[in-house]
Structure 1
Amino acid sequence: MSEEITEFRIDIPQKRLDDLRTRLDATIWPAALPGDGWDTGVPVSWLREMVDYWRTEYSWRDAEAKLNAYPQFTTTIDGQRIYFMHVRSQNENATPLLLTHGWPGSVAEFLTVIPLLTDQFHLVIPALPGFGFSGPTNDSGWDTTRIAWAWATLMDRLGYEKFGVQGGDIGAAVSPEVARVAPDRVIGVHLNGPMAIPQFPIPEDEWASLTALEQDRLNRIQAFHGEEFGYIAIQSTRPQTLAYGLVDSPVGQLAWIMDKFREWTHPREADPDKIIDRDWLLTNVMIYWLTGTAGSAGYVGYAQDASWGAVAQNSGVPTAMIVFAHDAGVRRYLEPEHTIVRWTDVDRGGHFAAVEEPELLVADIREFFAGLK
């Protein structure tokens, strides 16, 4: 099998963008449900404003230029095309760092942090198999372990014997798995939004031993399972059925992703475009829309079979975890799987740390890896 690495540049045909405009202009809008609030999903009034901005002010060509400002490549690993950014530091002795995004994010999550990290790190930023320009998938079985082996192979092809890993959301599951499959190569694991789900109900004596912050996080985990788990149930069991609507309707794709950005940004009460720039939100959605990867991204992200709920082996690799205000990691439930040497609680920021709080995230990454040296 070829191990060739090929230069890549994003260049979406204009007819594809013209088709998008036609579809947006012809949107058939549903009637607003009573109250038209976020408790029943994305409000029609809010989404109409977003779509109007998408139609009249947003520029994909500007976004394309921002992405193309960084070196991009593709290579085939385990039969799957993998797209990645590779941004080398001017410091030849910089630490190689592999950054992994999650769902419903993309490599665009890291656009803000790239210039903040390249003095200390050589950055490798792949798109998960089935996501964006790494999609769609050619076969099944892309669980976190298989992705981890692919990432280790990618770093080998790039000539990086030793490297660090960082990630959030799905990236927070893939990154420690890279350390498990290649513990002699990974020097450190840095995670934002780490999650371990304990067995509920929690015994009374154990609950009493938790801090108020930890109890709040566990209450929010339980609320998530009762109020928000539907998207996981759909994407992990019927991703193909869902894909018809999301790949055919740009507004459907926008709504599906914006529902999560509203729930997972901080503070939750604020509309997502009050926290994250509208142009970035639309660029992230465009990556899914233009590549038609809603189905394969959902399938890869949540069809993890036995990986869900299983206690993974501790790699022994030093691990740092930063938990922002939205997220719900509790250290004692994460310690069996990780060698935690640094834990940081932050009273602001949400699930999309690289976009919401890039300076805080970068400072934690820099301090952790500098300490390892």
Structure 2
Amino acid sequence: MSSIEPFEIPSIPPQRLASLKEKLQNVEYPNELEKNVGWKYGAPRRAVEPLVQAWLNDYNWEKAQAPKLPGHGGSKSGEIFHKLMTSVLGYDEYMVHGSDFGTMVGKWLAVKHPQQCKGFHTATSGCMPPIPTPGFLWSHPLKVAKFMASIALGMDTVYGRGSSKIKGRSFVDVENDPELGYCAIQSTRPYTLAYGLTDSPVGLLAWLLEKYHNWSYPENKDDSVVLPDTITTDEFLTQVTLFWLTNSISSSIRFYYETFNDAGVKAVFPLYVNIPSAVSCFPADLSKVPREWLEANFNLQQYNELDMGGHFPALECGALLVDEFNPSIPQEARDFVDFVNKSPSPFHCTHGAAELLKQAGFTEIKERDNWNGAIERNGKYYFTRNGSSIVAFVVGGKYVPGNGSTIVGAHTDSPCLKVKPISKKEKSGYLEVGVQLYGGGIW
């Protein structure tokens, strides 16, 4: 195993910082149309200028520093990551997650190194349609037939409304999908574009801002919205600063050219992925293909369509993305943990339980009120005492006043979890702890 050398992200060189501030203080903004055209022409000045001022006066690079993808084509990046996991870190097996170009790198690893790469997860559902090739005709004849029918009848008609989001016919089809304009220039003339983005921090900011605005959740924003609530100004400026201070936007956009012309990637892209694969679809992402296409291209073991998030799920909704990596955790367990986290005292617990009962159709009554005429058959009721305890009950449809009742659940104290060390011994570097429920109950 190769030795691992620590890497420390350097501080901003004083001359580099001075250059950045000087450029931000002396911006020459481009001419724009007098009429408001929203974001149709790209990032407007009214959105760019406030961020330039925030970058100049408020942002602190020393508090936020982050890594990025190596600036090589897809197959070369794949080899770098494989070497990192096996030769450098010493793992015999690993799993890979990727989105956007990371999907291509991940698929390359899944196809080329299935003995070590044991699972593949992606948040970008791009793949080959089941076209009438010998392989697809043999393995998925019905899927091929449906795809051919969709050409004539439309995707929504064949696969269902909302099952796909495909505008362009190719990687750089700007005529049918204007969002691919950036991809066309970066895949064909990255050096020419790089001059403007490298020399002008404001040009770089505007170039990236358009993507963060258009590709984040919700999909159809009001034109007045610059960044969504899920992405802070500092988070966005960190991305811009990282590119500018390291002078790496050129290698970043060159990645498109190299991948677009990478024979290794082109050879792998149409191949079937045999290792277990999972796909998470976020509603504001650029593209979406029918699940049937994914099943024809991957050993699909998990597929989920999320309620929020876009092209940057790790930044926009990181918790949701992490949950996609742990699908075996029952939702009931997640709900219970959320409930406990919101219940640091009996009062919080009682309030939370009351809210859940209301959502389930229970009606609040008062303990001291006269219940005659207020209680009905098939009714669901609850009451609280001193804000620290709660009682809920359901009246049966055949109940007759005077009949007895059956208690099916009760709790005599607050359901607070208590965590304490079992001993002072450690196992594998972790202190062993025990968990107990504070309070008794009948279930």
Task: Give the TM-score of the pair, scaled to structure 2.
Answer: 0.62
1:320 to 263, 275, 278: 278
1:272 to 1:342, Cα distance in 2 relative to 1, 3 A: farther
Equivalent position of 1:338 in the other structure: 298
One-letter amino acid matched to 1:37: G
1:280 to 229, 232, 235: 235
One-letter amino acid matched to 1:184: Q
1:302 to 1:259, Cα distance in 2 relative to 1, 3 A: farther
Task: Give the TM-score of the pair, scaled to structure 1.
Answer: 0.73
Rounded Cα–Cα distance in structure 1 between residues aligned with 2:255 and 2:18 = 30
1:1-373 superposed matches below 5 A = 3-11=2-10, 12-33=12-33, 34-35=35-36, 37-64=38-65, 67=66, 107=67, 127-130=68-71, 142-156=72-86, 157-196=88-127, 198=129, 202-204=150-152, 207=155, 208-215=157-164, 217-219=165-167, 225-268=176-219, 269-270=221-222, 271-275=225-229, 276-304=231-259, 305=261, 306=263, 307=265, 311-327=269-285, 328-330=287-289, 331-367=291-327
Kindly indicate whether the alpha-carbon contact (under 8 Å) linking 1:325 and 1:350 is maintained by their aligned counterparts in 2.
Answer: yes
SS across alignment from 1:340: strand
What is the Cα deviation at residue 15 of structure 1?
Answer: 2.3
1:174 to 1:214, Cα distance in 2 relative to 1, 3 A: same
What is the Cα deviation at residue 309 of structure 1?
Answer: 9.6
Equivalent position of 2:340 in the other structure: none
Rounded Cα–Cα distance in structure 1 between residues aligned with 2:168 and 2:272 = 26
Equivalent position of 2:374 in the other structure: none
Deviations 1:169-211 (A, max 9, x none): 1112211211111101112111112213647994235733201
Rounded Cα–Cα distance in structure 1 between residues aligned with 2:269 and 2:128 = 10
One-letter amino acid matched to 2:158: S
- Give the CA RMSD over aligned residues: 2.6
Equivalent position of 2:421 in the other structure: none
One-letter amino acid matched to 1:128: L
SS across alignment from 2:325: helix
Rounded Cα–Cα distance in structure 1 between residues aligned with 2:328 and 2:91 = 20
1:265 to 1:246, Cα distance in 2 relative to 1, 3 A: same
One-letter amino acid matched to 1:61: E
Kindly indicate whether the alpha-carbon contact (under 8 Å) linking 1:36 and 1:44 is maintained by their aligned counterparts in 2.
Answer: no
1:169 to 1:253, Cα distance in 2 relative to 1, 3 A: same
Structure 1, unmatched stretches of 5+, are 68-106, 108-126, 131-141
Rounded Cα–Cα distance in structure 1 between residues aligned with 2:116 and 2:39 = 45
Equivalent position of 1:97 in the other structure: none
What is the Cα deviation at residue 296 of structure 1?
Answer: 1.3
Rounded Cα–Cα distance in structure 1 between residues aligned with 2:90 and 2:52 = 44
SS across alignment from 1:253: helix
1:324 to 1:56, Cα distance in 2 relative to 1, 3 A: same
Structure with the largest fraction of helix: 1
Kindly indicate whether the alpha-carbon contact (under 8 Å) linking 1:232 and 1:302 is maintained by their aligned counterparts in 2.
Answer: no
Rounded Cα–Cα distance in structure 1 between residues aligned with 2:226 and 2:127 = 26
Kindly indicate whether the alpha-carbon contact (under 8 Å) linking 1:187 and 1:317 is maintained by their aligned counterparts in 2.
Answer: yes
What is the Cα deviation at residue 350 of structure 1?
Answer: 0.6
1:61 to 1:342, Cα distance in 2 relative to 1, 3 A: same
* Percent identity of equivalent pairs: 32
Deviations 1:84-128 (A, max 9, x none): xxxxxxxxxxxxxxxxxxxxxxx4xxxxxxxxxxxxxxxxxxx32
Rounded Cα–Cα distance in structure 1 between residues aligned with 2:269 and 2:324 = 26
Equivalent position of 1:119 in the other structure: none
One-letter amino acid matched to 1:182: H
Kindly indicate whether the alpha-carbon contact (under 8 Å) linking 1:317 and 1:339 is maintained by their aligned counterparts in 2.
Answer: yes
SS across alignment from 2:5: strand
